[in-house]
Amino acid sequence: MIVDSLFLYHRGCGQILVWKLGLVGVAIGTAISVVYRLLALVIYTSKHILHRPVLKFLKNFINSIFTIVISYVVINNFIGIQTFTFINWFIFAIKSVLIVLCIVIINVLVVDRKQLNVIKSLLIKRKKD
């Protein structure tokens, strides 16, 4: 039932927006339907499966968006996208991965120390086995 309504919602948004905006309208309609589905799944799983508040998801989601935006800004301002050859693209990709990794590590150290402790305990347990 949810899949059918999602399909109809996506088709409706896509058809309405494609008439005014073309292919960009289809992309916007797809984004709207994906966000709708994401929210529906978060609410359902939070209440019926995970039994935890939706605000916990919201905190993690906002933190992820913040990390993505900061990574994008840092990469664009410090190394810029200058990919003319495959080698340049490969070097850019390595630099980007290292920058994003540093930003994620700093984010975890500052925002989510509890999760870091869980990861540490799992790694220590794995070393002992």
Query: Average pLDDT, stretch 54-59?
Result: 88
pLDDT tens-digit readout, 2-51? 555 655 555 666 677 777 788 888 788 888 888 888 888 999 998 899 88
> Domains of the chain: which residue ranges?
1-52, 53-129
Q: Hey, what are 29's tokens?
A: 């309609």
DSSP sequence for 73-102: HHHHHHT----SSHHHHHHHHHHHHHHHHH
For residue 117, count other CB atoms closer than 10 A to its CB: 10
pLDDT tens-digit readout, 77-91? 888 777 678 888 888
- Per the CB < 8 A criterion, the answer to whether 82 and 90 are in contact is no
Q: Which stretch of DSSP H or E encloses residue 63?
A: helix 54-78
| Residue 1 confidence (pLDDT) above 70 | no
pLDDT of res. 109: 85
The C-alpha atoms of residue 20 and residue 67 are separated, in whole angstroms, by: 33
